[in-house]
Structure 1
Amino acid sequence: MTDTAQTPLKILIADDEVNIRRILETRLAMQGHQVAAAQDGTEALELFRSVEPDVVVLDVMMPELDGFAVLERIRAQSEVPVIKLTALGDVADRITGLELGADDYMVKPFSPKELEARIQCVMRRASQGQGGSGVGSASSNVTAVGDLSVDFNRRQAFRCGERIRLTGMEFHLLELLISRNGEPINRLDMLEAVWGYKPERASDSRVVDVHISRLRGKLEPDPLNPELILTARGMGYMFQRLANPSAPQKPSALAAKPHG
């Protein structure tokens, strides 16, 4: 799937507000998508197993099981893109959802048109399975750093030959960092390049921070003292400078603080 405007998707909407479910069901169905709607967390998990959706839109506050519990159970078995819905003032809920594995979030009240754009973006990131980023050798398109290897053609990362589970957004963020290795990238540029939108409020950049933290947790031997994904003070983040991206290397010291 490369374009949700052309390819019908199976979309799961989980929200206890009937008006939101009806509006989204109607709009998305008119675009040719197959929509399943759940009014509580238990029903959401049942539909997730039976429908096997391409993308999930998940509210936080729901009966039976809340959105956090549902997200945890989804992430235990799948890397399907998930967009969380949160209330306007609940910044902590947004961060918690991202930490649990959500790819993006929308703040209520939201524009259905904007949600449709966010769905398109996460699906593009999840479905970009070919082509790579031009990093590494032209034949294999694999970058290796120590015992970590990143295969851009297969869009997978491995440590000592064992696959590291990454969501589509996590891999795209890693791909961006490696493609510009040794170069600090500010949060706003990362948000626009990976998530496809400019922030409307300062807290929007936390999407990047949380995804960086998740990547470090999966890629770094010691996430609290990162050697691969470094913090460039006052700038944003950078991947360590690679002298020869196609060959295994040991992490090198850079003029950037490794903490943060």
Structure 2
Amino acid sequence: MNHVLIVDDDQTLCQLLTEFLAIEQFEASSVHDGAQALPQIQQHSYDAVVLDIMLPNISGIELLQQIRKTSDIPILMLTARGEDMDRILGLELGADDYLPKPCNPRELVARLKAILRRTKSHLNISSNASFSIDLPELGCFSVEHQARRVLLAGQEIKLTATEFDLLESLINQPDTTLSKQELSIQVLGKPLSSYDRSLDMHISNLRKKLPPPIAAAIDTIRGIGYRYTPSEIR
């Protein structure tokens, strides 16, 4: 049973989501203050976090930044409807997905299942157990699929679950142009809707974290999608 932490100061909503998640075979806990959430996440093994942006004491954005310093736990953010800047900032800081409030509990459960399904399905990869390439002056860059770790010269590069899944999808299909729609379904678990730039934001975040030769090998195919081209690595 997956255990989800709900961080939202709306106690009625937390109760509603807890009851709905229980029907869907999730265990749910909740906290109503941003300052209380970080110790909870550090002390317990949650499978995912549902995080509201508007929280007392510490905002959801600040809390997201703190969580991402030490954890790649999947995070689904709740944003006020129409607050595009909050949504974009959340994605830039490492949120895996978002939903506008008020949200439909069925859609929230579907999004959580998609996040957890893609994260856990990648643990069962039997082929391509590891990927590595020597980068001049930087050392060995490696992707450990089973451990879900990315290393450069033996030091781990911290990626979110979504960023890791994107990298894995691209390097497992070299020299293949993947449309944004394909990647969205493969990695985000949902079709890409009009004006939704969440996939582009995740790609941008991923490139910033990768060593320059690897980042440069992820090509943008304008109007279509993305392609990993290993021959471009120098």
**TM-score with structure 1 length normalisation?**
0.80
Find the partner of 1:65 among 50, 58, 66. Answer: 58
Question: 8 Å contact 2:213–2:233 — kept in the other structure?
Answer: no
SS in 2 for 1:73: helix
> Any residues of structure 2 matched to 1:1-260 within 5 Å, and which?
8-127=1-120, 128-132=122-126, 134-135=127-128, 141-144=130-133, 146=135, 147-200=140-193, 202-204=194-196, 206-221=197-212, 226-242=215-231, 251=233
Query: After TM superposition, which residue ranges in structure 1, 4 or more long, deviate above 6 angstroms?
Result: none
SS in 1 for 2:9: coil
Q: CA deviation at 1:217?
A: 1.1
Residue-by-residue CA offset, 1:138-174 (whole Å, 9 max, x unaligned): xx54242634222323332221222212222211111
Residue-by-residue CA offset, 1:166-222 (whole Å, 9 max, x unaligned): 22221111111112222222212211111111134x232x11111111111111327
- Cα distance between partner residues in 2 of 1:131 and 1:177: 15
- Cα distance between partner residues in 2 of 1:125 and 1:187: 17
Q: Which amino acid aligns with 1:91?
A: D
- Cα distance between partner residues in 2 of 1:130 and 1:192: 18
Tell me which moved more, 94-103 or 9-18.
9-18
Q: Which amino acid aligns with 1:167?
A: T
Kindly tell me: are residues 24 and 145 of structure 1, through their superposed partners in 2, closer, same or farther at Cα, counting changes over 3 Å?
A: farther
Could you say which structure has the higher helix fraction? 2
Could you say which structure has the higher strand fraction? 2
Structure 2 gaps of 5+ residues are: none
- Cα distance between partner residues in 2 of 1:236 and 1:208: 10
Q: Which amino acid aligns with 2:123?
A: G
Q: CA deviation at 1:40?
A: 1.9
Question: 8 Å contact 1:182–1:240 — kept in the other structure?
Answer: yes
Question: 8 Å contact 2:180–2:192 — kept in the other structure?
Answer: no
Q: CA deviation at 1:116?
A: 0.7
Kindly tell me: are residues 109 and 60 of structure 1, through their superposed partners in 2, closer, same or farther at Cα, counting changes over 3 Å?
A: same
- Cα distance between partner residues in 1 of 2:119 and 2:186: 14
CA RMSD of aligned residues (A): 2.1
Question: 8 Å contact 1:130–1:154 — kept in the other structure?
Answer: no
Identity across matched positions, percent: 36
- Cα distance between partner residues in 2 of 1:172 and 1:117: 18
Number of residue pairs the alignment of both structures matches: 229
Question: 8 Å contact 1:145–1:251 — kept in the other structure?
Answer: no
SS in 2 for 1:13: strand
Q: Which amino acid aligns with 1:214?
A: N
SS in 1 for 2:216: coil
Question: 8 Å contact 2:118–2:189 — kept in the other structure?
Answer: no
Q: Which amino acid aligns with 1:59?
A: D
